[in-house]
Chain A
Amino acid sequence: MTDTAVRRGQRQPARLRILLHHPLSTYYLIGGASVLLLLLGLVMVLSASSIESFKTFGSSYTLAGRQALFGIGGLIGMFFAARTSVQFWRGIARWLLLGAVVLLIVVLVVGVAVAGQRNWIELFGPFRIQPSEFAKIALVVWGADQLAKREAYHRSWKDLLIPVLPVAVLLMALVLMEGDFGNTLMLAAILCGMLFAAGVPGRFFALFAGVAVVGTWVLTLAAPYRMERITSWLDQSSDPLGVGWQLTQGYYALGTGGVLGVGLGASREKWGALPEAHTDFIFTVIGEELGLVGTLSVLLLFAVLAFAVFRLSRTTKDPFVRIATAGVGCWIVVQAIVNIGGVLGLLPITGVPLPFVSYGGSSLVPALAAVGMLLCFARNEPGARQSLRRRATARSLARR
């Protein structure tokens, strides 16, 4: 009796190991984790935005409906991105970069300011795009292409930095000019991730970190609201009605949720006390409604995503795939860390959304497109391609 129990206990990890070593496991883990986060996000946006939406539009479903449209659009984008080839991405790299730079310059001219940041271009109706989000995917694809090319024939790592570093700095400068500090940070994360994957040695990152700290310090002195965010992060009682208030309400939400949460839809904080409940602070609403179980599940989904993405980056033989995957991985993981770290009071609040979960089409659609690109990479890995081909043959045989 104990024998079978022990054996069953041993069999489980063995089966898991087999599953994880399946050639398509990376493909399914990336797709599965992203789609689950997206679906959870849709449900939580519906809950968290219902009060704000009703107040503004007279219907609790307006914002959630828009997010659903963004989600469907993003999934379609992801589907098509997954069906492309690695060559396709390398082919459009320069055009993506060119488009991003043009949009970033256009937004400086015709941009609309939302919440202190002049980084939106109005489209039709309620739709508008944020070029800085678009710039992230552009930097990933173009940067990876450049780094992969250079890696092939340059011996010194310093050759890798030209022209990726100056272009990335230009993009960051443009995004910063819009006042979008959060996405500047994300561009830096992407750049670091890609350079790291390309093999740039550690001392460069030490230097880069030094520059980032000094840069942040200068920028903080330049913009008073950033200083406020820092001080309120360091001393949460200093500003009980501003950012400190928001942080406190976030803690209240998490505390109220406890282990099991108050139940889906039953958040109290979303009734006006917690600002940005459906965007930057949606993680705390998850914590309130679904409890520790919900917040740890979100962390787990991001961890699974990170595991699969970094494994793809680690195991691929294609340098472009390795570097681009590391860039997307750093983008999503760092953005999640900055967002969650912010609402947990462990990092300053920078106003970046939680990837796949927070309300907002212009961050959701590029993120899903990037995931689509990773899916494309994953299914084009040699083992995966074989497995897919075998499956297609079996299917056509069965049909006969």
Chain B
Amino acid sequence: MKQMAAPPRQRRGTGSTSQYRHAVVKGHAGKRGMVLLIITTMAFSVFAVRLIDLQVVKGPDLAEQALSQRLRTTAIPAMRGSILDTKGAPLATTVEARNVTADQTLVTDPVAVGAALAPILGVEASVLATRLTGTRRYMFVAKDLSPETWKQIDALRLPGIFSEPTLRRIYPGGSLAANVVGFVGADGKGLGGIEYGMQDLLAGTSGSTTYERGPGGRVITTGEMTRSSAVHGSDVQLTIDRDIQLIAQRQIARQVESARADSGTVIVMDPRSGHILAMATAPTFDANTAATSPDAVRGNRALSDIYEPGSTSKVMTMAAIVDQGAANAGSAFTIPSTLKRGGKVFHDDVAHGTWHLTLAGILAKSSNLGTILASERIGGRKLYSYLKAFGIGEPTGIKFPGESSGSVPERSDWSPTTFPTLAFGQGLSVNSVQAASVFATIANDGLRVQPTLVQGIVNPDGTVTPAAAPKVTQVVKPSTAKQIRLMLESVVGKHGTAPKAAIPGYRVGGKTGTAQYVDPRCGCYNGQVVASFIGMAPADNPQLVVAVSLINPRNGRFGGQIAAPVFKRVMTYALQARQIPPTGKRAPRLLLTAG
């Protein structure tokens, strides 16, 4: 009722006191409404100035700070290049793999999840359960799984279990050429062999993605995004032939075991191209599990171990003598039972009376004294320059990590016994590749082609960059090489030191070596030897050189006995694999004895 009464009262007011209200209140109200508007306008003007300050004057700075708060960069890994054999078969390659991760806060039942994962991962359920328990948002459960294994896990739809893609280095052949190819560490970087030596080329350059993200990690889809793609690594193609490598590795491993040797190597070389077709080492390791293998088996002994070549070195001495015209295969020598040079008495491996041998006979019987006598016809200075020309004491040119070049004593360091000692292959040191290269030079008509292990580079764009042409030097005349090859054939003959190296149907030439070996523990000679055999086939048109060496064999001693059979088997296989036919001719008989 009172409410109804209000309007009339107001109407009455409008009537009687309208003069009063108009004079005081209305005028007041008009001014006051203006005051409110002015205050509002002032406040808004201040805001407008502040907005111009924040959005225009300080705008770019604030925007930059805001951007740096949001920008994140993640790497895009570059795919590491493969290491291929000469036919393109992979010896090392990179595949996509999965790391399984867990957000522990999302795993509601660690025991059950662990039990579900255990049979797939092959890890104890209790071990997995501990990895799944806790408050960590990011925890590795398993690394480097195949995509198929991850699919199995993903199908279980376990809460809190995630995966991230990763790259994994695999070696399909396991130990196949492992000492050449090398291996990578946990970070995927090469730690040995070609993997280490050509790391930069194989690794490529990783790219990156830069994007904006919110504090929760969500990618801001409307934000900036820049990508620089990864440049994948190049493939390295080796001259190694996987098939020949496999046989070489098997044969040397078997012989190292049966001869109870410390180690052994086999080199198979194409003498005309200088390509190394196989470089086998025993004992070896599986590159997939390199981390668990001892250091001693992971290196490449064919290039890193040096030894005194012994009798195989006589090939160089003979080639020098023949090349200088000082003697030929038929030249006769009278060899006493002992020889005194430089105050030291030298003798042969087998005790004998006075021998009458041709130069070919000296090589066939591997007479140290005969070699000394023959070499005296050219002198030490000539011999030294021939040794250097054959590549002794020089790097092989392969540029393999850990390579040792061996050595020949400088002329100025020579003692009176140096020259006779060098003539029969002691007092200088070589690695297996250098030793093989000497025979490759004889096989290739005296033309030395620098050994090559890397055939070419397959660039990320698919183009191929072949390896630089190898250095080529004419060390001895072709006629000299031919004569030496004939002499080498007699070594493999009935009266030579290595009939076991003979291959039916093929003409084979080679040389045994049984050199004294410096025991690395005392740095002295104490009966240890290096048993070796290096040969070529077909001897009248050589297309392959095989070098076998065994260090410190305890069961057997002579190269002709323990190294020659390995040579024979590897060479037989390699001739077939390379489809090299026999030349069909018979070896001419050289006179070995004179008088």
A residues bordering B, Cβ < 8 Å?
Answer: 51, 87, 90-91, 94, 145, 148-149, 151-153, 193, 196-197, 199, 249, 251-259, 262-263, 265-269, 271-273, 287, 291-292, 295-296, 299, 302-303, 306-307, 310-311, 313-315, 317, 319-320, 322, 326, 329-330, 333, 337, 340-341, 344-346
A271 to B212, CA, bound (A): 10
Please tell me if B292 contacts chain A, counting CB pairs below 8 Å.
no
Closest Cβ of chain A to B32, distance in Å, is: 6
Interface pick from B1-9, B375-383, B449-457, B481-489? B1-9
Nearest CB in chain B to that of A293: its residue: B55
Closest Cβ of chain A to B458, distance in Å, is: 44
Contacts of B336 in A (CB 8 A): none
List 7 other contacts, CB 8 Å, given A254-B54, A271-B213, A344-B50.
A152-B10, A152-B17, A259-B59, A268-B220, A314-B33, A315-B30, A320-B10
Question: Is A272 a contact partner of B218 (Cβ separation < 8 A)?
Answer: yes
A151 to B25, CA, bound (A): 9
Contacts of A287 in B (CB 8 A): 51, 54-55
Mask: chain B, 1-40; 1 = CB below 8 Å from A; 0 = not: 0010011011001000100010011101110111111001
B residues bordering A, Cβ < 8 Å?
Answer: 3, 6-7, 9-10, 13, 17, 21, 24-26, 28-30, 32-37, 40-41, 43-44, 46-48, 50-52, 54-56, 58-63, 65-67, 69-70, 212-216, 218, 220, 222-223
Task: Assess A252 versus B65: contact at CB under 8 Å? Given A196-B36, A268-B222, A310-B37.
Answer: yes
A121 to B476, CA, bound (A): 107
CB within 8 A of A268: which of B24, B29, B35, B212? B212
Specify the main secondary structure of chain B where it touches its partner.
helix
Nearest CB in chain A to that of B11: its residue: A152
A94 to B66, CA, bound (A): 52
Question: Is B43 a contact partner of A341 (Cβ separation < 8 A)?
Answer: yes
Closest Cβ of chain B to A254, distance in Å, is: 5
Task: Assess A307 versus B55: contact at CB under 8 Å? Given A268-B223, A271-B214, A302-B44.
Answer: no
Question: Is B44 a contact partner of A303 (Cβ separation < 8 A)?
Answer: yes
Contacts of A341 in B (CB 8 A): 43, 47
A317 to B60, CA, bound (A): 51
Question: Is A271 a contact partner of B33 (Cβ separation < 8 A)?
Answer: no
Nearest CB in chain A to that of B9: its residue: A152
Question: Is B29 a contact partner of A197 (Cβ separation < 8 A)?
Answer: yes
Contacts of A344 in B (CB 8 A): 47, 50-51, 54
Nearest CB in chain A to that of B43: its residue: A337
Question: Is B55 a contact partner of A257 (Cβ separation < 8 A)?
Answer: yes
Contacts of A90 in B (CB 8 A): 3, 6-7
Task: Assess A193 versus B55: contact at CB under 8 Å? Given A199-B25, A273-B69.
Answer: no
Question: Is A255 a contact partner of B36 (Cβ separation < 8 A)?
Answer: no
CB within 8 A of B55: which of A255, A268, A345? A255
Contacts of A255 in B (CB 8 A): 54-55, 58-63, 65-66
A315 to B21, CA, bound (A): 14
Specify the main secondary structure of chain A where it touches its partner.
helix
Question: Is A299 a contact partner of B24 (Cβ separation < 8 A)?
Answer: no
A336 to B230, CA, bound (A): 52
CB within 8 A of A340: which of B24, B47, B70, B213? B47
Closest Cβ of chain A to B505, distance in Å, is: 79
Task: Assess A314 versus B29: contact at CB under 8 Å? Given A152-B17, A254-B62, A307-B37.
Answer: yes
The 8 closest A-B pairs by CB, nearest first: A255-B62, A314-B33, A271-B214, A252-B66, A152-B13, A272-B214, A266-B222, A256-B63
CB within 8 A of B34: which of A51, A253, A314? A314
A267 to B59, CA, bound (A): 15
Task: Assess A91 versus B33: contact at CB under 8 Å? Given A268-B66, A272-B214, A299-B47.
Answer: no
A339 to B69, CA, bound (A): 26
Contacts of B6 in A (CB 8 A): 90, 145, 149
Question: Is B40 a contact partner of A303 (Cβ separation < 8 A)?
Answer: yes
Question: Is B44 a contact partner of A310 (Cβ separation < 8 A)?
Answer: no
Nearest CB in chain B to that of A90: its residue: B6
Contacts of A315 in B (CB 8 A): 30, 33
Question: Is B3 a contact partner of A311 (Cβ separation < 8 A)?
Answer: no
Contacts of A314 in B (CB 8 A): 29-30, 32-34
Nearest CB in chain B to that of A255: its residue: B62
Task: Assess A306 versus B55: contact at CB under 8 Å? Given A254-B62, A255-B66, A273-B214.
Answer: no
